[in-house]
Amino acid sequence: MHRALQLAAQGPRTGPNPRVGCVLLAPDGRVLAEGAHRGAGTPHAEAAALAALPEGAARGATAVVTLEPCTHTGRTGPCSRALLAAGVSRVVVADTDPNPRAAGGAAELAAAGVDVETGLLAPESRALNERWAAAVGRGRPWVTWKWAATLDGRSAAADGSSRWITSAASRADVHRLRAEHDAVLVGTGTALADDPALTVRADGREVEGPQPLRVVAGLRELPAGARLRDERAPLLHVRSREPHAVLAALAAREVRTVLLEGGPTLAAAFAAAGLVDEVVCYLAPALLGAGPAAVGDLGVRSMPDIARLRLRSVERTGDDVRLVARPVPSGVWSADPALPVKEAAGVHRDR
């Protein structure tokens, strides 16, 4: 299973599907074949491992797989059937599938007489796909909220200018963060004030490969010449001020992870709705003394309402401090930020 987890970790961090690895073992324990899932539309890990063997060579084998084999026909066929057809006699699974539309593979295999064991290194497998599992389980994308602020918590100067609060190292780190998400989201306020490109760049140039979906939330139109309308990456304008509706529109497009880049008004709306899963904050050793705060009104009126976070890491990026933290249910923060699955049409897995 450790080897299967290593294979799984080679898969992409973005995209609609989880990272999955599979090792096929002969009855004497020899490794027959290995497989990993490389992203939507490519074979699932089990199918990739089976494809590496000649016909009939998997008869009586053990399949060690990091996620419960799917029962779902999406872009490719169900893995439970492929394992049965290949004559695999034992299946060892790390984690069960949190996606209601694809789960049930372990039960299907057991009903067909296969010896099934579930739970081996389940926490490791779950950690590998944490954001994906949260997204399919709740029917809404995982939301990482990123912002940059001065030590006095300001995100722009009194005249609205905000470039640049943080160091070049922090800004480069933001591009790495963007590359780990399926979508990047801002409000119309930021889109109009900053005319951002929101692409993943290195040394001033767009990196090769697919760019995250650029998403703008709000009612105002973007000007015809806005950078967000250019060809560098796709754009989705969700004409809504309702955070749940924005996430439902993204879930319908199989977006599993979104980087919320502000501004303060949109970020406050998401935070107040309990729709933030992780916070990445770049704090610059600088003061503005005036100008907008990094986050707008959360509805906190008194100390019992305070929105608390649990710190996960503190690092230095250039001259700045990079904090990663996660909300803890407290004060104005609701305990269950889940969006009912039925509101998020089109959420399914095809790994």
Ligand X SMILES: NC(=O)c1ccc[n+]([C@@H]2O[C@H](COP(=O)([O-])OP(=O)(O)OC[C@H]3O[C@@H](n4cnc5c(N)ncnc54)[C@H](OP(=O)(O)O)[C@@H]3O)[C@@H](O)[C@H]2O)c1
Enzyme catalytic residues: 46
Which is closer to ligand X, CB of 21 or CB of 262? 262
CB of 220 to ligand X, least distance (A): 3
> Least distance in Å: CB of 125 to ligand X?
34
Nearer to ligand X, 87 or 160 (CB): 160
- Whichever of 96 and 162 has its CB closer to ligand X, that residue is 162
- What is the closest distance, in whole angstroms, from the C-beta atom of residue 273 to ligand X in the complex? 8
d(CA 14, CA 129): 10
Min CB(31)–ligand X separation in Å? 48
**Closest CB to ligand X among residues 158, 306:** 158
The CB-nearest residue to ligand X is 189
**Contacting residues toward ligand X, per CB under 6 A:** 147-149, 155-156, 160, 162, 165, 186-190, 193-194, 217-220, 241, 243, 261-266, 269
